């Protein structure tokens, strides 16, 4: 039996933040396929194991705890694996970074693909907003109150690295943008991603999922505005 | 000096979840006006007191802690005022409820007013999604793992009541919808809203803000699809 069951699409995107924390903690988990995910999230709330709107959904098999919402799932893993800071201010700073990461992912897919990218939309709002997010992360990392890069690696380090490393390796045309607008964040993500457990995990994920990032038509439109080739892997969705 | 400084629009909406927690805790806070909010959030991240994308922004004056992101602000207040549960599962369930509440508010304004409501959009997606949220909250409250209505009032109780009480008093045409799809949630919200400190606070807020809910053109369009009259108060925005 695995430690966890993860119900998420077979793409990196939001799920990768959760997977990195589990991989770093040395936990095992079963990936449930898209059909199982769809069946669960289309079910009536009174039949769902935990009433929830959208994946990711995580089941802690040993404790029999179900959790949804990216921020709640990550907080739970952080608390149970000793990765969450102690003081209320540091805890909240960690939660803020997770919420910011979630918003970045929302923004780069125009609200989960509700609209597709056009070159005009990317130039006018997509890229300016993404670079502002990068500056927010960079200045946050420079602040005395930063929860990144402390002596003991914490949840914020894993989330920060999973967000930016995954984005700028799959959507690699964004790597120079990150280097320009958030060099400290880029270096931090590189450092965490080079930890043996995470480097090995990322290799496995590239083998499992190919070069897919957020999937679907929204990824096709994102690649188009970034002047990137079509996906080479047979993306699962 | 007040305990806190709140930088948010002069409307209930997201800010009201934060205000209810402070009001219940007996804390004092200064409301900063829209011009101050705009100046802060348009500022460069390296000049902001905390690099952030959008209000609400809260300053804990005594501890000199700045926090943004609704979920992080509420977690911070919950931790510092003894309103957050102890176990990782209950903590995460509280965070999940806050994230769900945040998503409800996002949905009912079509992503903060990015698009306005039309009758077709409301009938096809707005109302069905809202009633599904109501069912998710209702079933969540019925579950054994619910963090609502325990012996000691907690953060989840305040957030749940602030969300649904504020929505269904300002957008009162939604009250029968809540009664139908989430009767337990409606009763819970009534019970918490009747606590003397919160009942008195809500009276003050109606006097301060009038009947505004989310403000702007999105509120006008929401009132229209709900067959409600125009706002009677001179809404600040």
Pair A205, A165 in one domain:
yes
Q: Look at residue B231 and tell me if it is in a domain.
A: no
In percent, the amount of chain A with pLDDT more than 70 equals 98
Pair B133, B173 in one domain:
yes
Pair A93, A66 in one domain:
no
Pair A93, A56 in one domain:
no
- Reported as a pLDDT band with limits 50, 70 and 90, residue B232 is confident
Pair B66, B109 in one domain:
no
pLDDT score for A42: 96
pLDDT score for B235: 54
Domain end residue (candidates: A80, A113, A141): A80
Encode pLDDT of A13-26 as tens digits: 999 999 999 999 99
Given a cut of 90, is residue B212 above it in pLDDT? yes
Encode pLDDT of A106-130 as tens digits: 999 999 998 999 999 999 999 999 9
Pair B39, B94 in one domain:
no
Cross-chain residue pair A65–B89, CB shorter than 8 Å: yes
Whichever domain contains B155, its CATH number is: 1.20.1050.10
List, as one string, the DSSP characters of A187-207: HHHHHHHTSHHHHHHHHHHHH
Whole-structure pTM value: 0.97
Pair B70, B92 in one domain:
no
Domain end residue (candidates: A57, A80, A103): A80
Name which of B21, B88, B132, B183 to mutate to probe chain A: the one with the most chain A Cβ atoms within 10 A of its Cβ. Answer: B88
Stretch A146-161: mean pLDDT: 97
Average pLDDT score over chain B? 96
pLDDT score for B171: 97
Pair A63, A94 in one domain:
no
Cross-chain residue pair A93–B72, CB shorter than 8 Å: yes
Pairing of strands B29-32, B4-7: parallel
Domain that holds residue B121: 88-225
Is this complex scored with an ipTM above 0.95? yes
Name which of B49, B69, B133 to mutate to probe chain A: the one with the most chain A Cβ atoms within 10 A of its Cβ. Answer: B69
Encode pLDDT of B151-161 as tens digits: 999 999 999 99
Pair A18, A46 in one domain:
yes
Given a cut of 80, is residue A11 above it in pLDDT? yes
Pair A221, A105 in one domain:
yes
Q: Look at residue B235 and tell me if it is in a domain.
A: no
Q: Which of B48, B71, B139 sits opposite A95 (nearest CB)?
A: B71
Q: Look at residue B26 and tell me if it is in a domain.
A: yes
Pair B20, B49 in one domain:
yes
Cross-chain residue pair B93–A53, CB shorter than 8 Å: no
Q: Nearest CA of chain B to the CA of A68: how many Å?
A: 7
Q: Name the domain count of chain A.
A: 2
Stretch A43-47: mean pLDDT: 97
Q: Look at residue B230 and tell me if it is in a domain.
A: no
pLDDT score for B230: 86
Taking the alpha carbons of B128, B56, A73, B88 in that order, is the dihedral positive or negative? negative
Phi-psi region of A156 (alpha: psi -120 to 50; beta: other; left: phi over 0): alpha
Q: Look at residue B236 and tell me if it is in a domain.
A: no
pLDDT score for B234: 59
Domain end residue (candidates: B80, B103, B129): B80
Pair A55, A151 in one domain:
no
Given a cut of 80, is residue B49 above it in pLDDT? yes
Taking CA atoms, what residue in B is nearest to A141? Answer: B51
Encode pLDDT of B105-155 as tens digits: 999 999 999 899 999 999 999 999 999 999 999 999 999 899 999 999 999
Q: Nearest CA of chain A to the CA of B175: how many Å?
A: 21
- Reported as a pLDDT band with limits 50, 70 and 90, residue A176 is very high
Cross-chain residue pair A96–B53, CB shorter than 8 Å: no
Encode pLDDT of B167-209 as tens digits: 999 999 999 999 999 999 999 999 999 999 999 999 999 999 9
For residue A175, the number of C-alpha atoms closer than 13 Å in the C-beta half-sphere is 12
Whichever domain contains A71, its CATH number is: 3.40.30.10
Exposure string for B153-176, b = 16+ CB within 10 A, e = fewer: bbbbbbbbbbbbbbbbbbbeebee
Q: Look at residue B132 and tell me if it is in a domain.
A: yes
Q: Are A177 and A130 in contact (CB under 8 A)?
A: yes
Q: Look at residue A237 and tell me if it is in a domain.
A: no
Q: Look at residue A235 and tell me if it is in a domain.
A: no
């Amino acid at each position: 039996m695995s430690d966890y069951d993860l119900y998420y699409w077979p793409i990196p995107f939001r799920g990768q933040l959760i997977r990195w924390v589990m991989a770093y903690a040395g936990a095992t988990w079963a990936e449930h396929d898209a059909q199982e995910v769809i069946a669960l999230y289309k079910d009536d709330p009174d039949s769902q194991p935990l009433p929830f709107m959208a994946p990711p959904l995580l089941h802690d098999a040993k404790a029999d705890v179900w959790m949804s919402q990216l921020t709640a799932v990550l907080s739970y893993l952080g608390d149970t694996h000793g990765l969450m800071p102690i003081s209320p201010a540091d805890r909240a700073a960690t939660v803020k970074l997770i919420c910011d990461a979630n918003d970045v992912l929302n923004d780069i897919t125009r609200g989960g693909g509700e609209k597709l990218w056009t070159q005009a939309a990317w130039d006018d709002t997509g890229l300016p907003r993404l670079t502002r997010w990068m500056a927010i992360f960079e200045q946050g990392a420079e602040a005395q109150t930063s929860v990144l890069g402390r002596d003991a690696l914490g949840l914020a380090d894993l989330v920060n690295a999973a967000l930016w490393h995954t984005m700028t390796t799959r959507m690699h045309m964004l790597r120079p943008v990150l280097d320009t607008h958030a060099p400290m964040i880029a270096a931090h993500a590189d450092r965490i991603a080079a930890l043996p457990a995470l480097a090995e995990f990322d290799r496995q994920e590239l083998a499992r999922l190919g070069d897919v990032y957020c999937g679907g038509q929204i990824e096709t439109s994102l690649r188009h505005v970034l002047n990137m080739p079509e996906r080479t892997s047979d993306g699962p969705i």
